[in-house]
């Protein structure tokens, strides 16, 4: 794939001047996704960082050049399913309906609606930018916050050391719903990213789910210039493996030959700085176990 | 030719919805509503109805799917009861404040707890401040007709608000009556296709729907919403009259006055209990007693002027609620009728009656007790009364 061909002349459909934080991977992902989706798209962005940054608009101004709305925190998938169903019934199948939702609106409050939409095979494209918490409102814990995260609702003190549970695995859950297409993507692996977004765009039957790990300098506490570096480290440590699922089969799309220790990723993030060796070993074990499971799932599929 | 069939209240709602040719239906089952959507699903399976049907995983999603479809320009329908309505509350409130027209049938049910599945109006009465138009109907024919009227009211360019057609769970939802089903052509001529003018999610007309809105602008939206509610009072009366010209049936618009000529004692009712009240009014009129009845058909918007006019000559009134207003020792309708009278400087003895909660009957005996009480009060102009429980 020639990325120049993909992006040459592609219009930025998101307004300039969004007030996202410096180094925000979410905004970068959203702009890139929308360049690929194009103008014939209806965008739903529930409450979260991107809505807070102004993409749905402010006052009487829009933050996007496509029709856009802000679903409730907990109904993005069902609301967008309604839009898509109506366009299908009118024979306007070319109108794409895309969700760009944070992990809180996806894994927690919005999970029931997403689960129902996936089970029914609603033909929407659902993109979750996972920054591992409610970052827009000051980093409260979410179902996808990593174990040990120092969040404002799981703070570190003498008695407690951050979030006590591991991360909920959304892409695997969506695969188990038999979604038409599921993929994990990283802003550090652009070829892989673009190929998967283009694939999701072509799904005409059933739900396409894309999960992007979205490093957050403000909440994770790292230098904004390191966003892409950290996104890459998450993949290279197997903390966030890149794979896709379709027709009942899993494929690892970026293979990591010699995975780096998770510590290399964890030690760069302020939210983990209190972790002792035991806690880091726990994260390593969780990472290994998941990588292992994924390997076994992929082993059933051709390379 | 219109045909008369034996239909339950839920079947009547389903027929009304089907005749309105919705683009999309989304619903989740709940007692006593379920057979509304089961009937529509069967019509769809039999090829007698053509629309999108979304069998969602919750009422919250039912309302959300509908909201999305309505924003894309669809005419939509759903039905629910009690806990389902409560689960919908979040997108429910948003439907009216986005000014999206639709019709939702509600087979009214008491709110849990204590655990119950039976009839009551607490579910919808509790939501009377959520910006929807609320009809409360008396029988199955009125259910079917009001669903059709409801779309015309909801989609009126001066109104643009969602409509609840509320009917008492089990008392009507599961009661079989003879109901005239109008011709599709008649309904089509009465109810033209919906074309959204004010808001749309469509790449051909890109716009941001619901960007962050500051208070000064939000207040303008609220004010417009309140004004649309007031416009709806007139529109509901007009559409009821239009409906009569096409179908030969009418319901008085926002209220119905029954035998008010020279009535000293007037009972105010809402919903299916009105049938029993009519019989008791007839009975007492036969005995020469000066009694009458006002049926409140629309609780939101509140038909203040018409209610005040209807009660102007009464010497005492009684209001029968099938729900309670916690914090007032009475029902909500009672408080609203008093507020309406008070706003026009009218003071008269008034008695609050509460009955029929959780599926309990409101019998002719109850209505006789109520009306007799009001008659006594009208005769001796007694001072303030405690709420009378019809139990």
pLDDT of A231 over the 60 cut: yes
A95 touches chain B (CB under 8 A): yes
Q: Which of B69, B205, B214 sits opposite A86 (nearest CB)?
A: B69
Q: Which of B69, B201, B211 sits opposite A58 (nearest CB)?
A: B211
The residue of chain A nearest to residue B28, with distances taken between CA atoms, is: A116
**Which has the minimum average pLDDT: B217-221, B275-279, B366-370, B379-383?**
B379-383
Question: With bands split at pLDDT 50, 70 and 90, how would you rate the model's confidence at A301?
Answer: confident
The architecture in CATH of the region B3-247 reads 3-Layer(aba) Sandwich (3.40)
A105 touches chain B (CB under 8 A): no
pLDDT of B70 over the 70 cut: yes
- Alpha-carbon distances, residue A219 vs A49, A192, A224 (angstroms): 11, 26, 11
Q: Are A46 and A76 in contact (CB under 8 A)?
A: yes
The residue of B23, B208, B217, B221 whose CB has the most chain A CBs within 10 angstroms, and thus the best one to mutate to test that interface, is B208
pLDDT of residue B385: 76
Question: What is the spatial distance between Cα B293 and Cα B319, in angstroms, rounded to a whole number?
Answer: 10
Instruction: Give the count of beta carbons closer than 10 Å to the beta carbon of residue A284.
Output: 18
pLDDT tens for B202-258 read 999 999 999 999 999 999 999 999 999 999 999 999 999 999 999 999 999 999 999
A136 touches chain B (CB under 8 A): no
The 3-state DSSP class for residue A30 equals helix
Q: Do A40 and B210 touch (CB under 8 A)?
A: no
A11 touches chain B (CB under 8 A): no
Mean pLDDT over A62-67 rounds to 96
Question: With bands split at pLDDT 50, 70 and 90, how would you rate the model's confidence at A46?
Answer: very high
Question: What is the spatial distance between Cα A109 and Cα A103, in angstroms, rounded to a whole number?
Answer: 9
- Cβ burial of A277 (10 Å; 0-12, 13-18, 19+) is exposed
CA-nearest of B103, B142, B170 to B12 is B142
Residues of chain A neighbouring B212 (CB-CB closer than 8 A): 54, 56-59
Give the CA radius of gyration of chain A. Answer: 18
- % chain A with pLDDT above 70: 99
Residues of chain B neighbouring A119 (CB-CB closer than 8 A): 57
Residue A98, token pair as written in the block:
């895309």
First to last CA, chain B: 45
Residues of chain A neighbouring B55 (CB-CB closer than 8 A): 120
Å between A68 CA and nearest CA of chain B = 5
pLDDT of B377 over the 80 cut: yes
pLDDT of residue B363: 97
pLDDT of residue B220: 97
**Which has the minimum average pLDDT: A7-21, A221-235, A264-278, B263-277?**
A7-21
Residues of chain B neighbouring A91 (CB-CB closer than 8 A): none
- Cβ burial of A247 (10 Å; 0-12, 13-18, 19+) is exposed
**CATH number of the CATH domain containing A85:** 3.40.50.970
Tell me the average pLDDT of chain B. 97
Question: With bands split at pLDDT 50, 70 and 90, how would you rate the model's confidence at B382?
Answer: confident
Q: Do B201 and A67 touch (CB under 8 A)?
A: yes
Sign of CA dihedral B136, B26, A112, A209: negative
Mean pLDDT over A243-251 rounds to 95
Q: How would you label B254-267 residue by residue, b for 16+ Cβ within 10 Å and e otherwise?
A: bbbbbbbeebbbbb
Q: Do A67 and B207 touch (CB under 8 A)?
A: yes
Domains B3-247 and B256-390 share a fold: yes
pLDDT of B381 over the 90 cut: no
Å between B32 CA and nearest CA of chain A = 23
A58 touches chain B (CB under 8 A): yes
Q: Do B67 and A79 touch (CB under 8 A)?
A: yes
Q: Are A191 and A3 in contact (CB under 8 A)?
A: yes
Question: With bands split at pLDDT 50, 70 and 90, how would you rate the model's confidence at B1?
Answer: confident
Q: Do A113 and B202 touch (CB under 8 A)?
A: no
pLDDT of residue A40: 98
> Hey, which residues 184-243 in chain A have their CB within 8 Å of chain B?
none
Q: Do B56 and A83 touch (CB under 8 A)?
A: no
Structural domain including A291 reads 3-299
Within 8 A by CB and 6+ apart from A91, the residues are none
Mean pLDDT over A56-83 rounds to 95
Mean pLDDT over A206-230 rounds to 98
The residue of chain A nearest to residue B73, with distances taken between CA atoms, is: A86
User: What's this model's pTM, rounded to 2 decimal places?
Assistant: 0.96
Residues of chain B neighbouring A46 (CB-CB closer than 8 A): none
Q: Which of A63, A88, A115 sits opposite B208 (nearest CB)?
A: A63
pLDDT of residue B371: 97
Relative to beta strand A96-102, strand A41-44 is parallel
Q: Do A70 and B69 touch (CB under 8 A)?
A: no
Å between B70 CA and nearest CA of chain A = 8
pLDDT of B277 over the 90 cut: yes
Q: Which of A82, A88, A89 sits opposite B26 (nearest CB)?
A: A82
A269 touches chain B (CB under 8 A): no
Mean pLDDT over A90-115 rounds to 98
Mean pLDDT over A11-30 rounds to 94
Å between B44 CA and nearest CA of chain A = 14
The residue ranges of every structural domain in chain B are 3-247, 256-390
pLDDT of residue A126: 98
Q: Do A62 and B207 touch (CB under 8 A)?
A: yes
Mean pLDDT over A124-152 rounds to 97
Q: Do B206 and A115 touch (CB under 8 A)?
A: no
pLDDT of residue B246: 97
Å between A263 CA and nearest CA of chain B = 41
pLDDT of A303 over the 60 cut: no
Question: With bands split at pLDDT 50, 70 and 90, how would you rate the model's confidence at B57?
Answer: very high
Q: Do A116 and B66 touch (CB under 8 A)?
A: no
Q: Do A66 and B207 touch (CB under 8 A)?
A: no
Residues of chain A neighbouring B72 (CB-CB closer than 8 A): 42, 82-83, 86-87
Residue B334, token pair as written in the block:
């009672």
CATH 1.10.3720.10 fits B256-390, yes or no: no
pLDDT of A277 over the 80 cut: yes
Tell me the average pLDDT of chain A. 96
Question: In this predicted model, which residue has the larger pLDDT, B265 or B380?
Answer: B265
Mean pLDDT over A254-279 rounds to 97
pLDDT of B383 over the 70 cut: no
Q: Do A72 and B91 touch (CB under 8 A)?
A: yes
The residue of chain A nearest to residue B62, with distances taken between CA atoms, is: A78
Question: What is the spatial distance between Cα A139 and Cα A124, in angstroms, rounded to a whole number?
Answer: 28
Residues of chain B neighbouring A81 (CB-CB closer than 8 A): 54, 65, 68
Question: With bands split at pLDDT 50, 70 and 90, how would you rate the model's confidence at A19?
Answer: confident
Q: Angle formed by the axes of helices B82-97 and B215-247, to 10°? A: 110
Q: Which of A54, A78, A83 sits opposite B56 (nearest CB)?
A: A78
Q: Any long-range contacts for A137-145 (C-beta under 8 Å, 24+ apart)?
A: A139/A218, A139/A219, A139/A271, A142/A103, A142/A104, A142/A107, A142/A108, A143/A103, A143/A104, A143/A107, A143/A108, A143/A111, A143/A167, A143/A168, A144/A103, A144/A107, A144/A168, A144/A170
Count structural domains, chain A: 1
CA-nearest of B84, B17, B91, B85 to B51 is B17
């Amino acid at each position: 794939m020639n990325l120049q061909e993909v992006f040459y002349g592609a219009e930025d459909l998101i307004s300039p001047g969004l007030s996202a934080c410096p180094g925000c991977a979410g905004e970068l992902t959203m702009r890139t996704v929308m360049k690929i989706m194009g103008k014939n798209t209806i965008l739903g962005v529930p409450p979260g960082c991107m809505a807070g940054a102004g993409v749905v608009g402010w006052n009487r101004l829009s933050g996007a050049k496509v029709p856009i709305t802000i679903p409730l925190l907990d109904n993005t998938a069902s609301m967008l399913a309604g839009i898509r169903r109506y366009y299908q019934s009118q024979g306007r199948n070319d109108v794409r309906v895309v969700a760009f939702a944070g992990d809180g609106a996806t894994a927690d409050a919005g999970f029931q609606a997403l689960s129902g939409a996936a089970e029914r095979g609603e033909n929407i494209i659902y993109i979750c930018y996972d920054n591992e918490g409610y970052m827009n409102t000051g980093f409260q814990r979410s179902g996808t916050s990593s174990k040990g995260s120092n969040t404002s609702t799981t703070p570190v003190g003498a008695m407690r050391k951050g979030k006590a549970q591991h991360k909920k695995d959304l892409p695997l859950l969506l695969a188990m719903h038999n979604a038409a297409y599921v993929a994990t993507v990283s802003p550090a692996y652009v070829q892989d990213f673009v190929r998967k977004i283009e694939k999701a765009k072509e799904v005409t039957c059933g739900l396409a789910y894309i999960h992007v790990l979205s490093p957050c300098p403000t909440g994770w506490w790292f230098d904004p210039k390191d966003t892409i570096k950290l996104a890459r480290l998450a993949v290279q440590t197997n903390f966030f493996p890149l794979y896709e699922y379709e027709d009942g089969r899993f494929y690892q799309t970026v293979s990591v030959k010699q995975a780096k220790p998770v510590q290399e990723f964890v030690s760069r993030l302020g939210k983990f700085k209190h972790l002792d060796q035991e806690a880091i070993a726990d994260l390593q074990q969780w990472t290994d176990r998941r990588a292992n499971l994924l390997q076994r799932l992929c082993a059933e599929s051709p390379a | 030719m219109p045909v008369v069939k034996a239909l339950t209240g839920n079947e009547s709602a389903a027929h009304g919805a089907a005749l309105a040719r919705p683009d999309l239906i989304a619903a989740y089952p709940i007692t006593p509503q379920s057979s509304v959507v089961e009937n529509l699903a069967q019509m769809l399976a039999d090829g007698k109805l053509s629309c999108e049907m979304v069998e969602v995983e919750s009422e919250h999603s039912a309302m959300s799917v509908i909201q999305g479809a309505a924003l894309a320009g669809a005419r939509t329908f759903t039905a629910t009861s009690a806990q389902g309505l409560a689960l919908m509350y979040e997108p429910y409130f948003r439907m009216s404040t986005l000014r999206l027209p639709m019709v939702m049938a509600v087979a009214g049910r008491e709110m849990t707890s204590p655990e119950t599945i039976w009839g009551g109006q607490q579910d919808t009465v509790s939501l009377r401040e959520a910006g929807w138009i609320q009809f409360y109907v008396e029988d199955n024919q009125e259910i079917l007709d009001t669903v059709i009227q409801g779309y015309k009211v909801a989609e009126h360019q001066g109104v643009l608000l969602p409509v609840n057609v509320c009917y008492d769970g089990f008392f009507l939802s599961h009661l079989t009556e003879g109901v005239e089903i109008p011709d599709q052509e008649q309904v089509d001529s009465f109810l033209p296709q919906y074309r959204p003018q004010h808001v749309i999610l469509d790449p051909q007309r890109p716009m941001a729907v619901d960007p962050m809105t500051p208070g000064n602008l939000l207040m303008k939206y609220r004010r417009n919403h309140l004004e649309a509610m007031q416009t709806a009072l007139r529109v509901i009366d007009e559409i009821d009259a239009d409906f009569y010209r096409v179908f030969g049936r009418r319901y008085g618009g926002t209220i119905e006055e029954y035998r008010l000529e020279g009535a000293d004692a007037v009972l105010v009712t809402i919903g299916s209990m009105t049938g029993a009240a009519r019989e008791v009014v007839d009975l007492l009129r036969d005995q020469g007693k000066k009694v009458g009845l006002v049926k409140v058909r629309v609780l939101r918007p509140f038909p203040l002027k018409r209610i005040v006019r209807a009660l102007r000559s009464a010497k005492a009134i009684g209001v029968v609620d099938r729900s309670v207003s916690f914090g007032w020792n009475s029902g909500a309708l009672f408080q609203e009728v008093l507020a309406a009278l008070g706003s026009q400087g009218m003071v008269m003895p008034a008695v609050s009656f509460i009955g029929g909660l959780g599926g309990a009957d409101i019998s002719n005996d109850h209505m006789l007790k109520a009306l007799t009480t009001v008659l006594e009060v009208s005769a001796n102009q007694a001072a303030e009364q405690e709420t009378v429980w019809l139990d």
